[in-house]
Every structure is written in C-alpha cells, then in structure tokens.
Structure 1
Amino acid sequence: MLRFLSIKNRSPSGFLIGLVRRWMSTKTTVMSFGDGSQGALGLAASPVGLGVDAYEPTPILGLPPDVCSVSAGHYHSLAVTSQGHVWTWGRNSESQLGRGQISPRETWNKPQKVEGLDQVRALAAFASGVVSAAIGDDGTLWVWGNSKRGQLGLGKDITEAVLPSRVEKLLGHEIVKVSLGWGHALALTKDGKLFGWGYYADGRLGKIGKSLEASPLDSIAGKVKSSGENSNLMIETAEQLVLEAIEKEKDMPIIWEPTLIEELCDVEVVDVACGLDHSLILCSDGTLLSGGSNVYGQLGRLKDDLGLHAVDMSLRPISIASGLGHSLAICKNMSSKAVNDEPSVVTWGWNQSSQLGREGPENVPMVVDGLAGEMPVSVSGGRVHSIAVTVEGEVWSWGCGRNGRLGLGSSVDEVEPMLIQYLEGSEVLHAVAGFDHNLVLVAE
C-alpha cells in the first residue's frame, strides 16, 4: 500500500509534481465514476450515445500507462503523463479538449493527446467548465477553450483559443498552480505571488478591478427566497430576475489579462482554490482568505464585505479545495491543549445534498467528524459531492449519489463520508472531483 510523504509544509504544486517524479517509472491506471453524459468518464459509449454512468471506479482504456496526474473540469477530464503530454476527453463544445476543431459529440469520450503542446513538457493541467490550462516545466502557462468572461487571460476581447496558447503576460514568472472558477482564474507563482484575471465581481479577484461591485446573478438566490412561499410565484420571480441580471451582465466587469493582486504583495501565498464564483487563498502564515459570492456561506465568514477577508476559523489550514458552492480544507489543530495534531477535514458552504459531510451551521467552518482518526492528504469538491484521500491510500466520498458520483455502487446520497470499498487494495495516488464525475489515479 502506498505511503504518502508528510503533508506538512508541502509546496502548492508539490503533490502533483512530486507524483511526476516519484512515479515516472511506475505504470498507472486512471479510473472514473459518476455522470457519463458528457463523455467525461472516458468510457465506451452505449449504443444510444454517451450517457453511460459508472457507479463504481472503472478503468479508462486508451490512456498511456505513465499518467502521473489527473484533473477534472466541470464536464471534461485531463491527464498528464511522465513524458509531459496532456490527454483530454469529455465535453468539447467550447474547444476545451484542445483538438484543433470542435469534435463530433460521439468522439468526446475517447481520450486524445492535446494538439499544439509538442514543444512543451507539461507538469500539471487544470480545468474549468469552458477552459483548460497546462503548466510547462519552464513555468509557462498555456490555455485553450472558449470564455466570454476573459478566463483565457490572452488579452482584451480574446474569447477563444482552439489550440493551446501561451499566456504572454505571465512570462518571467514561474507558475506552479492555477485554479479556475466559471469565469475567473488565479495563478500562483513559485515565489508566492498571486495573479488574477477574468470576471471580477464580488471581489473574487481582490481589488484589481475598477471597483468592488456585486454580481447581479449572484444576488438572485436571496431575492427568490424572500419572494413568498407560492412555488409558481417563486418560479416567475426567478425567471424575471435572471432576465434582468443577464441584461445587466452585458457590460461584464472583466480583467482580460493576468494582473498582480496587489493587496497580497507583502504576503506569501501557498495555495489557491476557485469555486464557481468564489475564491480561497491560503497564506504561508496559515491565514485563509476568501472572496466572491457568499450566497451559500461558502466564504466561511460572518462579514459579507466584498473583497478578500480572513475566513473565521481557529484551526490552521494546510491545503484547500472548493466545490461549486462549498469549501473544503485540511487543517491542523494548533492549540497547545490539543491531544494530537493529526489533520482534519473542515467544510463550509452549500449543503443541500450533504456535501459538507456534517451537521451544524453551513457558513461556519467545522470538522467532518466522520473522518476522525483518518489522515487526509487531499480533498476535492464537485457540484454537490466531496471526496478525500487518506495517507493509507483510501478514498472516501459523501454528498449526492446521483449517477453514481460517489463510487459506492448506488445513487443514494450519503450524509457522512463513506469508504469506496471498490478501491481497497489499490495504490491510490490521486483523486479529484469534477462537477458530477470523478477521476482516480492508481499504480499498477
């Protein structure tokens, strides 16, 4: 069974890059489970199309045997090999697979190598719903896909890159990690600087925008809740509010190129995570900042102030992750009265399908008791589910079970973490959650 190195003082990209180095000569298999409707599972299609769900981790055929890291976008998947090649599969309506053209839907589920990266040795890859990105071993950032919200970071009004394009604005900076929301992006450098670009409403990118303003779409949820109990009235109100918000968003607040987040210039950033419309930023002193939408309490703080502010928590985060509207962290108890300093998984935010894995106030960061005694090394959040990997190489999942996205062999929701028994005995190297699907990397 695989034993991970200590997660203490791990560099932001240390987990992925460490796997590249550690497993260059080890054969690996990528497995997937969950919703297969967009081809993101990479599994064979049914006679009637792509809509084949997998209720247990299932090996993906057609990938090289030396995959060393995986990443899950909202509806597509990426894998990086020890040779630095990037492979993709899943939804391609926005050219996020990097295949040079909009491929036929029936080919989405077939893993293929990304075109246009022949001169780049990729160390890691990342994705949102409409954009994919890769980091080269020289620290350069390459992006492809389609985003009207400026998420490519290639310059004013550039909304499409069918093939990978280098982000020129970041030349001279060694990028080690990228995190992508629906319309915004954060890139972390080796020396702890943070750059942001894309849609900047609600201060999800700090103060780099012209002003801190609320997103008209993000504020809808609260208005609908206060519209009354009549369901028909709520639907009519929601429709009207959405139409009004879309009209306002024609003049979207966008930063078209990567820009240094100046309020963090005197702080060393060590990890970043973007939810759909919020951001988490972990500093070297243990301070965790959050910014963006707080409709579901995903910012983890009582203050609703726009911009980046500290999350209200007593534990010290050492790594972070985010789902659509919920946040996750691996934390240590730094209190002198603590019995031990073993890490715990802490969650907060949207909990409609029990994706927090615990009871209690949703907007307050709290420990997931169901993982007590385990040693988590990584966490990941989807649309309404979460997964965690422990030092023993076990994978736990909880939240919405629809389409088999928990990998437990059923579609039942789970209110607390459940061990994915199908993976017992496997050497799990990495596991990540997309919106409704998951990827697991195991050593043969």
Structure 2
Amino acid sequence: MRLSSWGANSHGQLGQGSTSEQCNEPLESANTWNNNTVRDIVCNGGHSLMICDDGKLYACGWNHRRQLGFEVENCHRFSRVWDLSGIGFRRVCAGWDSSAAITDKGILYLWGSNVYGQLGLPCDDFPKSVKPIQLELRVSDVKMGMRHTALLDVNGNVWTSGCGKKGQLGLGEAVTSLDKFQRIENISKICAVACGQHHTIAWSKEDQILYVWGDNNHGQLGIPIENLKAFEPIKCMVLSEHIQDVSQIYAGWTHSAALLKSGKAIYWGRNDYGQLGCETLQEGCSSNVVKFKGQKILQLALGSEHSVCLLNNNTVWAWGWNEHGNTGTGSTENIKEPKNVKIGSVDNLKIAAGAAHNFLITK
C-alpha cells in the first residue's frame, strides 16, 4: 500500500520526512507503519493522523498544542502515538490544533488544544495543551472546526463544545462559549455531522433534513446571505431538490458540500478561490452541481478552501485555493474548475484533505 501527499508541508504534515513551503505534485510519503493497511487518514491545520487496520494510531506534522498526542516539537514522518498503544481505533478526527479518535467500542479520546474548550474539558481545570484523555460519552462520529467540536452519539444526538460566538455550537444566542459538551435539544435522528471554520451541518437521513447553524457570511449555510448567523439549527434551503439523493455531507472553512447517490456533488458558500468548482458563480447566490461526464464521484474531501475527489475510473480531480500547491496540479494558481491530478496508479482507494494539504491511499 502506498500513501501519496501534496500541498503545504512547512511542519512536515505530509509525512515525507522533510519540511518545505509546498509540494505542488503528489509524492510518496515515507512508510513507517510496516506496510499495514491504512483504515482511515485525516488532516487539518498543520498536522495529520492515520489509523491502520490493526487499530494503531500514527501522527505527523505540527505539534505546538500536542495535537499529535506525544511530546515533540514537530514530526516529519508518521510516528506511533505510544500514549494510546494497546487501544484499537476505528475513526480519527483532526481539528485546527486538536485531535480525536474513536475506538471500536465507541469510546472517545481527545487531545491537543483546549484553549476554547473545544475538547469539552473545563478550561479552569485543564491546561491549554491536553494529553490524550478519555470521555465517558459513547459516540459514533466526531468532527472539529477551527475552535469548536461536534459529537454524534450512538442515539443520533449532536453534542457541541468550544467557541460559539458565530453560532457554531447551535445552542442559542446566549451560548457563545462552552467547555463541556452539551446536547442540542431540538434535533435528533442525525446520521452525519461536519464542521467548518465557524459553522456546523448535520444530516438526518430518516427525516430527510439537512440542519445548518453558525456563520453564514458567505452563504455556507445554504440560506439567504442576508442572514449572517444562525444560533440554532435551521433547515438548509440549497438541497431541497436533491434531499432524497444525499449520501454524505462536508464542510470547508466557508463553504459546504453534499455528495449525492447519483455520483454528483452539490456545493454552496464562498467561491472567491473557485472552491465551488465553478468560476462564474457568486457566493451566497446559489449552488453548483459538480459532475463529470460519464463518471461518478466516489469520494469527496474538502480542505479549508479547496476540494479533491476520486472518480469511479480511479482518476483524482481538484479545484479551489492553491497557494501552497494544495490541488496537486503542478502550479500555485487558483483552480476555478475541476482539474485532473496526475497520479500514476490506477488503484486509488481513499482521499483526504486538510487545510492546505492532501493524502491519497493507493494499493
């Protein structure tokens, strides 16, 4: 199994064994996990996390808040998180400078920055940089924004903690900060959540509703841009014609997306870098349907202001913000419409996108 990476690498977050301002095209990351099959990989801010099929956790990159789970300044290759050895993980999450992982039994561990209470730990009792710690709440998923975290418990309820000044906690206008996870009372039956920089979205497949809340300065909630914030969950208007076709949901910093069962993707929100995959669309006005003639999108990944996708013909495409070569297309010019990323292999398995870097797992 091969792991390729590209984009920003100033902290060694690409796992290539070195640092650089950027990597414009995909290069192979150093294999430090004994050729085990990679189960899950995520990246955000300046760090990356990976889980292998044996449940072991690895990390590399920026570590100023101990978001890697161990004590080094930075780490340029994927290294084992020994503080969490002996635990089998099935899912991992990376925030801007915090991290989380879920075990096979649904037990949640969090670590890294808790400056804004985003780990759900009382700020008066815990340091700003926290070692891996276990929470009692059983969860099925966890997502992190820049300064907030959303949990999905096994019963389909959403819990949030952290900074809520722009409504991203969804707990009402009075709750602008929280350092203990609190359940959002007025939504349930949620099967997926996603966190942007200052907004959150949640999908109820059973009720066929996409709930949104938080900052809407660029139309990332899919409601009229005149409504600058939503402090409680409301219904997204963009997906009304496609609501029964939704398969997965995603959030970039200031834009959002949904992958449809039909193999297309719907994008809405900010578009000054071309992150909606369409050069002419104005932010906050409408959505864009990203599709590929004769091919279906199998996987989608959103970085801070860019996207990558994997098609059913094993090709990889990218678009959006490209200052650090994060689209992998060989330049640093912003890519306003999907462009092919030159990958040699024809057996691509999984993609991941962080703030400005990406990974591709290949057989």
* 2:132 matches 1:203: no
Cα distance, 1:412 vs structure 2: 2.6
Name the counterpart of 1:9.
Answer: none
Structure-1 separation of matches of 2:302 and 2:57: 23
For the 8 Å contact 1:296–1:325, the answer to whether it is kept is yes
Runs of 4+ in structure 1 off by over 6 angstroms are: none
Counterparts of residues 214-363 of structure 1 (less than 5 Å):
253-264=176-187, 267-284=188-205, 285-302=207-224, 304=227, 305-313=230-238, 314-316=241-243, 317-331=246-260, 342-358=262-278, 359-363=280-284
Residue 25 of structure 2: which of 56, 64, 67 is its match? 56
- Which amino acid in the other structure matches residue 362 of structure 2? V
Counterparts of residues 15-414 of structure 1 (less than 5 Å):
28-45=1-18, 50-64=19-33, 65-66=35-36, 67-99=38-70, 101=71, 103-105=72-74, 108-157=75-124, 158-168=126-136, 170=137, 173=138, 175-207=139-171, 211-212=172-173, 253-264=176-187, 267-284=188-205, 285-302=207-224, 304=227, 305-313=230-238, 314-316=241-243, 317-331=246-260, 342-358=262-278, 359-369=280-290, 371-414=292-335
For the 8 Å contact 1:291–1:308, the answer to whether it is kept is yes
For the 8 Å contact 1:36–1:54, the answer to whether it is kept is yes
- What CA deviation, in whole Å up to 9, does each residue of 1:19-63 have, x standing for no partner? xxxxxxxxx222110111121111132xxxx22522221111133
For the 8 Å contact 2:317–2:339, the answer to whether it is kept is yes
- Which amino acid in the other structure matches residue 249 of structure 2? I
Structure 1 pair 373/257, CA: closer, same or farther in 2 (3 Å)? farther
Name the counterpart of 1:7.
Answer: none
Cα distance, 1:416 vs structure 2: 0.7
Cα distance, 1:368 vs structure 2: 3.2
RMSD in angstroms over aligned alpha carbons? 1.9
Q: Which runs of 5+ in 2 are unaligned?
A: none
Q: TM-score, normalised by structure 2?
A: 0.91
Secondary structure in 1 aligned to 2:83? coil
Structure-1 separation of matches of 2:252 and 2:128: 25
- Which amino acid in the other structure matches residue 169 of structure 2? L
- Which amino acid in the other structure matches residue 289 of structure 1? Y
Cα distance, 1:369 vs structure 2: 4.3
Cα distance, 1:126 vs structure 2: 0.5
- Larger proportion of strand: 2
For the 8 Å contact 2:271–2:281, the answer to whether it is kept is no
- What CA deviation, in whole Å up to 9, does each residue of 1:189-215 have, x standing for no partner? 2332221111123332222xxx415xx
For the 8 Å contact 1:397–1:417, the answer to whether it is kept is yes
Secondary structure in 1 aligned to 2:313? coil
Secondary structure in 2 aligned to 1:404? coil
For the 8 Å contact 1:78–1:87, the answer to whether it is kept is yes
Structure-1 separation of matches of 2:250 and 2:32: 26
Tell me the number of residue pairs that the alignment of Structure 1 and Structure 2 aligns. Answer: 351
Cα distance, 1:356 vs structure 2: 0.8
- Which amino acid in the other structure matches residue 283 of structure 1? S
Secondary structure in 1 aligned to 2:193? strand
Structure 1 pair 315/90, CA: closer, same or farther in 2 (3 Å)? same
Cα distance, 1:161 vs structure 2: 4.9
Structure 1 pair 289/87, CA: closer, same or farther in 2 (3 Å)? same
- Which amino acid in the other structure matches residue 348 of structure 2? V
- Larger proportion of helix: 1
> Which has the higher mean CA deviation after the structures are superposed, 78-87 or 158-167?
158-167
